[in-house]
Structure 1
Amino acid sequence: MKDETRIIIWPVYLDSTKTKSEGRKIPREGSVKAPKLREISQAAKKLGLNPSTEKHKAYPTSWWEGSGRVIVDRKMGKRELLLKLSNLINGSRSKDK
């Protein structure tokens, strides 16, 4: 049964190295190169979305890559959420340099 209060975030949704047909959901300019589960989870935590990580899950169209996924509370639209997560990850990466 589908849970309408949670959203699944696959790393491919934010990955600038992927095409739209491979699963990227946001524009390439706003996306992140090879996002990690930890980064997505930390960004979701900053947004107060109560993230839970499932490391051994695989995105259905690339089932051979065990990318994992993050499940978060639904507090906004999915596209808006993905853009905010991407911005936070890009911001934290630029601080690390």
Structure 2
Amino acid sequence: MRRIGLVWGLLLAGCGASPAPQFFGAERHEVTLDGYRFVVFHKEDMAEVVRLGYLTPRQRDPVPALMVVAAERATGCRVLGPLRGLARSPSLPGDTGEARFELKC
């Protein structure tokens, strides 16, 4: 019975997007582009974009470009490039699940 509770807890934890600690207190926006769903966290001159839902490897190709569009649409700012410094993304370049950007507002 304990295993079932653990499995349900893990599944439910993966259902929502939460910001990285650097983005606590950020504005949250939800954006859908070409059927892909994103949550954008906007704080000062930074944005964190989290893709929602499961994708096969074949479906992931357009996602990095759509993440830039999602950040710009949600914030009204222009993406300058990947976020650098302590707030930079810990993910590998090209990750389609999460990206962090520097903004020009």
Task: Give the TM-score normalised by structure 2.
Answer: 0.29
Structure with the larger helix share: 1
Task: Give the TM-score normalised by structure 1.
Answer: 0.30
Query: Highest Rg: 1 or 2?
Result: 2
Structure with the larger strand share: 2
